[in-house]
Amino acid sequence: MTQHTALPIGPAVLKELRDTDDGGATNTPYTDPEGGAPLRCCLRRSRAGERIALVTYAPLRRWAAETWARPGAYDEQGPVFIHAGECEGPAADRAGYPFAGAGALRTVRRYDSEGRIVGGRLLEIPEAADEGFDEAFAEAFTDPKVALVHVRAVEYGCFLFEVRR
């Protein structure tokens, strides 16, 4: 059982991203021919035949708008996959952390209340993936300055999910 909650992109933000993304582009949905894309709206992989979109997302900017933080140069944006239409979000019975295949490399990046990076670590996901993430998040939150943590894929730097204090 996970000790922290992996947060998806929220419904209000998804609605905006489906119109115009954080890079100013118009959404261009397509039918996923193979499946496997990491969907940030429901924290699962896409299935073949689903309508999805690749959009630009600025997670720290969105969080800063909620909290009045000032991330400055740490405000970055990047590509994420979402459902092209409304999504029910993560399944209520979803177990474990999303996108947590053993051996995959993740960056666990820590941010303070102003949205500045205050550390991070590389995580090679172990066979006991939940325990590996729990340990990384516990380590991050032992620092009282850490307000939230972003998990990113090392290979492409893509934002996968967020965990908040």
Q: Is the pLDDT reported for residue 1 higher than 80?
A: no
Supply the pLDDT for residue 20: 96
pLDDT in tens, 57-76: 999 999 999 999 999 999 99
**Count, residues in the chain:** 165
Per-residue confidence (pLDDT) for residue 9, from 0 to 100: 96
pLDDT at 2: 78
The amino acid present at 116, given as its one-letter code, is R
State percent of the chain over pLDDT 70: 99
CA-CA-CA-CA torsion sign (29, 108, 147, 98): positive
Q: Phi/psi class of residue 115: alpha, beta or left (left: φ > 0; alpha: ψ in -120 to 50)?
A: left
Residues 6+ apart with CB under 8 A from 41: 8, 9, 14, 82, 83, 87, 89
pTM beyond 0.85: yes
At 45, is the pLDDT very low, low, confident or very high (cuts 50, 70, 90)?
very high
| Cα(135)–Cα(83) distance, integer angstroms | 31
